[in-house]
């Protein structure tokens, strides 16, 4: 086993395959063996896919030897959050409600990455039905934060993030409805991309709230995120060469997003802003009042759709769920249909106001998460504390979902503190270029 490979970026692994220095079969075996032997792996992977992974790696080896690689990540393995359908392998979305659910075909994005040559390492643990931002799941497993295994890892793509952070996957695929890619990415010092809702097809993905659900990568670098995004999207990879912050205009969102920041999150965010400013970005600050109003609509918009999607299934067997998550779903039974429609009409108007107010800026900046990981035992012991911390963890990321944006979280160098950059919908390529320049600036 070559442990060096486990800390390399996916793009660097791909380059080594292209140069003939790494064999895809050896690489995939390295990660599978690490998963088998790692003491924390059972808290990260729900199940592995050894045969499918080795078959994919074998084919990638043949292409590499014949000079017929399908792209820069051909032969680089990937982990999948346990809500992406995989033919013949259980997809249970972290819930006993779906125990034994085994699809007969792959999700569209699984098929896309498989065709691109990425061997599937396995399915990663997640919070139940993706409806929590903390990464706490006593029903299946609560993945370990990279800085302290006894603390929450962030969710709901908790196993996805920790599979990369602990060196058990080069790159991971997760989903983001209210922050589920970005919270665990931030708390585990990774890059996480929330794509625009409606951009990447959700075919074969277990839903939470279809109007907000998105698919995105969790990775070590912006380059890795960009390459993986292109495969998920079925588009050309964004060109990151020459990315610069010189002459860019950034807006720090002061309303809501800066309230009640943990001291560590506040310090990391301000340090990151200093790096961006020294790299040539002009940074303004302003409150945007439409954000607070939009946040007030979230309880109707998110919970009503989530309960409408899962209510019948939940009520048929409610006792198998973790009560704080079950109760959060049940809150969606209260809003009337007219309230839901009215809330969407108002949100559409607030989105227009937001886009007008931010049109002159290259990106809007906020701390990715206002809090830092809490101890798992404390979260499990107190339902009220769990609920409050869950809402706080998702507060800033939810802004991007409510406003219909794409968003990127970057590690700041301060443990478990991320910088989030938000851009207009369907502007992922430009956002990733900005992210590459910001990544360089923050790395000094």
User: Which residue matches tokens 């406003």?
Assistant: 403
Cα distances (angstroms) measured from residue 378 to each of 128, 223, 351: 19, 37, 37
Q: What is the pLDDT at residue 444?
A: 77
User: Is residue 358 domain-resident?
Assistant: yes
User: Residues 6 or more apart from 402 whose CB is under 8 A from it?
Assistant: 291, 294, 295, 297, 298, 301, 347, 350, 351
Residues 47, 73 share a domain:
yes
Residues 209, 278 share a domain:
no
Q: What is the pLDDT at residue 3?
A: 86
Active site residue 156: yes
User: Is residue 240 domain-resident?
Assistant: no
Residues 158, 9 share a domain:
yes
DSSP conformational letter for 331? G
Active-site choice (180, 185, 368, 371): 180
Q: What is the pLDDT at residue 2?
A: 81
Say how many domains are in the chain. Answer: 2
436 backbone dihedrals φ, ψ, rounded to 5°: -65, -40
Residues 146, 116 share a domain:
yes
Active site residue 81: yes
User: Is residue 199 domain-resident?
Assistant: yes
User: Is residue 241 domain-resident?
Assistant: no
Q: What is the pTM of this model?
A: 0.98
Active-site choice (9, 79, 153, 156): 156
Q: What is the pLDDT at residue 255?
A: 84
Q: pLDDT digit string (tens) for 371-415?
A: 999 999 999 999 999 999 999 999 999 999 999 999 999 999 999
Residues 341, 268 share a domain:
yes
Q: Which domain holds residue 382?
A: 249-292+323-442
Residues 16, 149 share a domain:
yes
User: Is residue 161 domain-resident?
Assistant: yes
Active site residue 255: no
User: Is residue 243 domain-resident?
Assistant: no
Residues 275, 211 share a domain:
no
What are the residue ranges in the chain where pLDDT is below 50?
Answer: none
Residues 221, 91 share a domain:
yes
Residues 107, 26 share a domain:
yes
User: Is residue 317 domain-resident?
Assistant: no
Residues 214, 330 share a domain:
no
Q: What is the pLDDT at residue 348?
A: 98
Q: pLDDT digit string (tens) for 302-337?
A: 999 999 999 999 999 999 999 999 999 999 999 999
Q: What is the pLDDT at residue 284?
A: 98
Q: Between helices 50-65 and 24-37, what is the axis angle to 10°?
A: 160
Active-site choice (79, 81, 175, 185): 81
User: Is residue 305 domain-resident?
Assistant: no
Q: What is the CATH number of the domain that holds 404?
A: 3.90.1300.10
Residues 343, 266 share a domain:
yes
Residues 213, 74 share a domain:
yes
Q: What is the pLDDT at residue 1?
A: 53
């Amino acid at each position: 086993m070559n442990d060096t490979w486990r800390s390399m970026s996916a793009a660097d692994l791909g380059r080594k395959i292209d140069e003939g220095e790494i064999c895809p079969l050896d690489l995939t075996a390295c990660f599978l063996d690490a998963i088998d032997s790692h003491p924390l792996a059972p808290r990260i992977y729900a199940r592995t896919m050894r045969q499918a992974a080795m078959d994919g790696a074998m084919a990638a080896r043949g292409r590499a030897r014949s000079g017929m690689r399908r792209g820069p990540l051909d032969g680089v393995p990937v982990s999948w959050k346990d809500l992406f359908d995989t033919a013949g392998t259980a997809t249970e979305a972290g819930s006993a409600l779906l125990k034994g659910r085994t699809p007969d075909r792959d999700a569209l994005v699984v098929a896309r990455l498989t065709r691109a040559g990425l061997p599937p390492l396995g399915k990663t643990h997640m919070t139940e039905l993706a409806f929590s931002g903390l990464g706490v799941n006593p029903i299946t497993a609560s993945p370990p934060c990279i800085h302290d295994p006894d603390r929450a890892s962030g969710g709901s793509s908790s196993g996805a993030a920790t599979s990369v952070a602990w060196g058990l996957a080069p790159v991971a695929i997760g989903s983001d409805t209210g922050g589920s890619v970005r919270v665990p990415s931030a708390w585990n010092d990774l890059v996480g991309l929330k794509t625009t809702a409606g951009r990447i097809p959700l075919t074969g993905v277990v839903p939470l709230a279809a109007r907000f659900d998105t698919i995105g990568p969790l990775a070590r670098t912006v380059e890795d995120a960009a390459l993986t995004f292109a495969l998920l999207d079925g588009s050309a990879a964004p060109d990151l060469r020459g990315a610069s912050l010189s002459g860019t205009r950034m807006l720090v969102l002061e309303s809501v997003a800066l309230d009640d920041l943990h001291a560590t999150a506040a310090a990391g965010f301000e340090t990151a802003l200093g790096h961006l400013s020294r790299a040539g970005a002009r940074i303004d600050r302003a409150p945007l009042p439409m954000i607070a109003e939009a946040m007030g609509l979230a309880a109707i918009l998110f919970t009503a759709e989530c309960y409408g999607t899962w209510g019948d299934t939940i009520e048929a067997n409610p006792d198998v769920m973790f009560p704080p998550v079950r109760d959060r779903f049940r809150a969606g039974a209260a809003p009337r249909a007219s309230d839901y429609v009215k809330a969407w009409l108002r949100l559409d108007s607030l989105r227009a106001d937001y886009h007008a107010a931010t049109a002159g800026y290259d990106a809007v900046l906020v701390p990715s998460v206002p809090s830092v990981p809490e101890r798992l035992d404390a979260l499990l012991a107190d339902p009220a504390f769990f609920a409050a911390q869950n809402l706080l963890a998702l507060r800033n990321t939810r802004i991007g979902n409510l406003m219909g944006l794409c968003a990127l979280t970057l590690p700041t160098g301060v443990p478990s503190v991320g910088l989030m950059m938000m851009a207009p919908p369907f502007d992922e390529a430009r956002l990733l270029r900005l992210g590459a320049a910001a990544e360089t600036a923050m790395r000094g």
